[in-house]
Amino acid sequence: MTIIGTTRLLGILGDPVSHTLSPAMHNLALSTLGLDYCYLPFRVPADHLPAAVRGLVALGAAGFNATIPHKEALVPLMDERSVEVHAVGAVNTVVIAPNGRLTGYNTDVAGFVTALRETGWHPPTGGMALLLGAGGAARAVLVGLQQLGLTRVVVVNRHPERAARLVADFRSRFPELELQSLPWEENALPLEACCLLVNTTSLGLRNETLPGIELSRLPAQAVVHDCVYRGTGPTPLVRQAAERGLLAIGGLPMLIHQAARAFEIWTGQKMPVAIIQDVFDQLPRPPT
Ligand code: NDP
């Protein structure tokens, strides 16, 4: 990649940000296509977010991604918001127009939907999805499930009141979805009736298993999607689901496809996803 006088700035704001794989993915895609942009990581503490955004506007940056803890805080800073941002309540991709106007998008939704669609999976009519977790990723996944055509979703979370709040919020926005929250108790989880199990908790990142999730209770055609991505092999959930012969999807496809959607929003070009997938394990990473 050559940086010259016309090179446009892209980046990611987060705190911490040192673990992010986004600069490696985007810079590889930009240089592969010969596009005149450069993508950098910026560690921005929560209370500096408005100043950082104003700074990027002043610098004439083309746009940026956001990760923890900024996704929700960005929503009110936007001049315009995509349909997904209204639905999820979080922004992970921003376009800065030449006049400084900010448009917020949420590409985690497209990342999740594309990761499932590319397997060829279609939800069975009336099928039920079991969603583990009720944080930011769960909100994006819930919008994605609605886009995929799921009509029944059960949400389960360690702190059940958070799942209940999520369900109440989404019931008013998506009245066509049949939503229910249940406590995370082994015997209460309707695994036998589930066509799709999605993990959006952070469990698995450090090789943890999910308590009370007995995969032998899932139907043989059920799909397991773990949003968690580990740099060092599959999560226990993905490994155990694959061992049982279930279709098991890890967090990497979602990660790459959310980046691909952002890339297309900024540059108008398709990210060379196959190249990124092929070399993903060799992408430059920060030392651990
Ligand atoms: P949040 O902090 O918003 O939510 C975390 C969720 O994990 C909550 O539901 C929380 O439950 C649950 N949780 C945390 N610790 C435990 C535990 N010990 N036992 C049970 N539940 C627990 O995070 P996000 O929703 O933003 O992210 C969640 C995961 O999804 C992360 O690992 C993240 O990397 C991944 N992700 C992956 C993406 C991808 O592209 N592949 C995109 C976005 C996220 P509680 O409410 O009870 O605290």
Give the tens place of pLDDT for each residue, 243-263: 999 999 999 999 999 999 999
- Using pLDDT thresholds of 50, 70 and 90, give the confidence band for residue 172: confident
The position carrying tokens 């979370």 is 157
Ligand 1, pocket-test mutation among 106, 114, 166, 202, most atoms within 8 A of CB: 202
Does residue 123 have a pLDDT over 70? Answer: yes
Q: How far is the CA of 158 from the centre of ligand 1 (A)?
A: 11
d(CA 142, CA 70): 20
Alpha carbon dihedral 75, 79, 83, 89, in 10-degree steps, equals 10
- pTM value is 0.94
Give the tens place of pLDDT for each residue, 70-104: 999 999 999 999 999 999 999 999 999 999 999 99
| Mean pLDDT score, 266-287 | 88
Ligand 1, pocket-test mutation among 12, 22, 201, most atoms within 8 A of CB: 201
Phi-psi region of 65 (alpha: psi -120 to 50; beta: other; left: phi over 0): beta
Q: What is the pLDDT of residue 285?
A: 74
Q: What is the pLDDT of residue 70?
A: 96
Residues known to be catalytic = 71
Give the tens place of pLDDT for each residue, 50-59: 999 999 999 9
Distances (CA, A) of 256 to 34, 213, 263: 19, 27, 10
- Using pLDDT thresholds of 50, 70 and 90, give the confidence band for residue 288: low
Q: What percent of the chain has pLDDT over 90?
A: 87
Give the tens place of pLDDT for each residue, 28-79: 999 999 999 999 999 999 999 999 999 999 999 999 999 999 999 999 999 9
